Structure 1
């Protein structure tokens, strides 16, 4: 098959991966490009929507009632993650970090920065930003059941990036880009709606990682068939250049999931299984100490540029 990223017709490696998040275990064929190393599904299932049930994790409502003190401390934590400022927030970060928000720090955001989050689900990240005082935010996701209007005035709209005509400072894809079938046109549209000098932040799983080499088709973030493209650093940079971007920075931000999730899959334990660490830690294969060790190992791999996910900071030339 021809690589959809670089066009190569080389001797690609082929793999068969099972659906293991939901535990359906049906098989899907992938190939890894011999030239750019991008791992991609051979054929997108005609019923791909069926693999996103109503309880899919990104659909859960971002508004949570809770202890007012905890909410206040969480807001301070979030402020530290985004800005690097706030002493109390730093202490909270050490206790319960929010790595997703921390990937925004290199963007040097201010409360007037215009931010579009593509494929945001219920908009958890944007909701945190809105609670911190950010004003110009919009989330879009065509797979949501309907538009969402939060009490804090945040709006999440049921539509895709091609319907967007505004101009943005930042366009973000937080683990949504790997779900998109038309990689070039989606990234190209992000380029079109960014202001000159604006940034596309693309966070994706990557095959340029230790766990892909170690676990192969049992790698938890292969996530067949929802993940249509598992980029290498080389293929993501090539795609960015095709769209007109300059790839300014790549930051690995993997976590313990890469280990406990992949080890579960080796034992035929789906992510949503009652024996999964995600569902009931007390019934899982792992102790809390083991998971902490996985987290430590993940930080070590990130420092070596070998974690299983990375954030790409792509700038549109001014």
Structure 2
């Protein structure tokens, strides 16, 4: 595989990594992939495992998360006939699950990080540790909000997830898009590379090809418009720009404007089902 670019872990370790291009799946692969990934999540600054509202970035993240919860439920409702069973993989601190349960879903969640599970427990949400805990069940809806890029043994994990889906069920996957304008603009400093926690970096074609191997197809793709602003904000901070708020707003805005024509938004939600 050819070297695409070199970057580093800006948020936790400061270590350097390569992104190598897999031509078959049109995706980038983080190299090396550490054997002990847990230590790269063991940080107060890793916000998806906490409910921190300390910094401005924290508060923006939590505000965007609250808005996104409503949009995610709306997207799911537009794709299914009625609210039934739901599995959220990579449930973090349980906010999406809590929202889904309040809307009438019979919902379960998977979260390998102990700290995040503890935070979810404090909200009354009990999470399973891994997929093996629910392997005897089938779900109408499976969600993975910025999770697929974290999973080791990618194709095997996709195979397991496909088995958990009901015949007429739908899988909702949100992932960053390395072909977006903000990714190309920030390159090494693009926050959504987030190495080494993000092991894989997808394009629209990547998702299509990966799931075709499990006899599944992408039936719809939706943009996540706020992601370009949040990712640009972090990327500007990584660059050391003291005026990061202003710069991030304009880059995030231009990324969404350009994606109106190219369809290459900063992050995308893929709706996937089993082929008939």
The two structures have a TM-score, normalised by structure 1, of: 0.72
1:176 and 2:147 are equivalent in the alignment = yes
Match of 1:196?
167
1:147–1:207 Cα change, 3 Å: closer
- Corresponding residue to 1:229 among 200, 222, 225: 200
1:41 and 2:30 are equivalent in the alignment = yes
1:143 and 2:143 are equivalent in the alignment = no
Match of 2:41?
52
1:39–1:177 Cα change, 3 Å: same
Structure 1 alignment gaps of length 5 or more: 2-11, 65-92, 270-283
- The C-alpha deviation readout for 1:39-71, integer Å capped at 9, x for no partner, is 111221123111112533122259x9xxxxxxx
1:219 and 2:176 are equivalent in the alignment = no
Structure 2 alignment gaps of length 5 or more: 54-62
State how far apart, in whole Å, the 2-side matches of 1:209 and 1:233 are.
10
Aligned residues: 259
Asked whether the equivalents of residues 211 and 217 of structure 2 are also in contact (C-alpha less than 8 Å), the reply is yes
Give the match's secondary structure for 1:256.
helix
1:1-318 to 2 correspondences below 5 Å = 1=1, 12-22=2-12, 24-55=13-44, 56-60=46-50, 98-108=67-77, 112-130=83-101, 132-145=102-115, 148=118, 150=121, 154-157=125-128, 159-164=129-134, 165-253=136-224, 254-267=227-240, 284-287=242-245, 291-304=248-261, 305-317=263-275
Give the match's secondary structure for 1:105.
helix
Give the match's secondary structure for 2:228.
coil
State how far apart, in whole Å, the 1-side matches of 2:66 and 2:122 are.
25
> How far did 1:26 drift?
1.1
State how far apart, in whole Å, the 1-side matches of 2:158 and 2:248 are.
35
> How far did 1:243 drift?
1.6
Asked whether the equivalents of residues 219 and 273 of structure 2 are also in contact (C-alpha less than 8 Å), the reply is yes
> How far did 1:31 drift?
0.2
- The C-alpha deviation readout for 1:227-270, integer Å capped at 9, x for no partner, is 00001111111001112211101122133023222233233x7x
State how far apart, in whole Å, the 2-side matches of 1:197 and 1:143 are.
30
Asked whether the equivalents of residues 92 and 116 of structure 2 are also in contact (C-alpha less than 8 Å), the reply is no
Give the match's secondary structure for 1:39.
strand
Give the match's secondary structure for 1:184.
helix
Alignment RMSD (CA, Å): 2.9
- The C-alpha deviation readout for 1:179-225, integer Å capped at 9, x for no partner, is 00111111111110111111111101111211222222211100111
The two structures have a TM-score, normalised by structure 2, of: 0.82
State how far apart, in whole Å, the 1-side matches of 2:32 and 2:178 are.
19
